[in-house]
Copies of this chain bind each other. A is one copy, B any other.
C-alpha cells in the first residue's frame, strides 16, 4: 500500500517491482488516480494486480500520529481499478476498506479526478490562496487577522495547514481537472463581484439561498463534521 505524496509513486513502484510475487495486490491511498495509474502500472510485473484506492477522509494533520481508530468510519473510499483488473483483487480491497468502517465506491480514474477536483482540490487551493492573501496586506496586520479569525477565516486556515508536499504533488498531477474547475469558479465569482459592485441585492440573496440546500444534503448523508451531525 503506497502511502506517500503521489509524486514519489513512480520511483517507489520501480523500487518494489523486483520483489513482488505473482498474486500480490498493490494499492495506494493517493488523492489523484489518473496519474497514479500511469506512474505505477507499467512498472509492475505480470501476475500482480494494481487496485488504486482513495479514502476520502482525513484531517489537516499528516503522518502516523494523525491517525485515529474512527478515521474511516462512514467515509467513502473510492477504488479506481484500471481496465482488465482482476475483479477478485478489487473485491479483496473493498473488503479491507469495509473492515476499517468505510463505504466503498468504484469509478474510472478520470472521473475520480474530476469529482475530487471540485470536492477537495479546488477547496484546498482556494483556502491556501485566501490565507496567502491575508498574509501580505498593508492595511491589516497579521496580529489582527489572527485575533479576528473566528469570523470565518479560521476554517480556511485549518485546510491551508495541510501538508505542502502532498498538495504540491496533487496539483502537479491533477492540473487539467483543477484548471477546469478554477475556470468555473472564476465565472461564478465574476457574477458575485459584479453584484457587489452594482449593489444588486437580489442576485446576492438568491445565490446565498441556493447554496443552503447542498449543506442540508451533506448533513442528511452523514458526511458533515461529527459535531454538526449531532446538532442535526
Chain A positions near chain B (C-beta within 8 angstroms): 7, 31, 56-58, 60, 75-76, 78, 105, 111, 114-116, 118-135, 137, 139-140, 142, 144-162, 164-165, 167-169, 171-172, 175, 178-179, 181-182, 184-185, 188-189, 192-193, 195-197, 199, 201, 204-205, 207-212, 214-218, 221, 223-225, 227-228
Contact B152 A120 (CB under 8 A): yes
Pair B129/A204 contact, Cβ less than 8 Å: no
Report Cα–Cα, A162/B135, bound state, in Å.
25
Known contacts A119-B152, A152-B159, A158-B228; can you find 9 more A-B pairs with CB under 8 A? A114-B140, A118-B145, A120-B153, A121-B152, A123-B155, A131-B214, A161-B211, A169-B201, A227-B227
Per DSSP, chain A at the interface is helix
A178 near B164 with CB under 8 A, answer: no
A168 touches B105 (CB 8 A): no
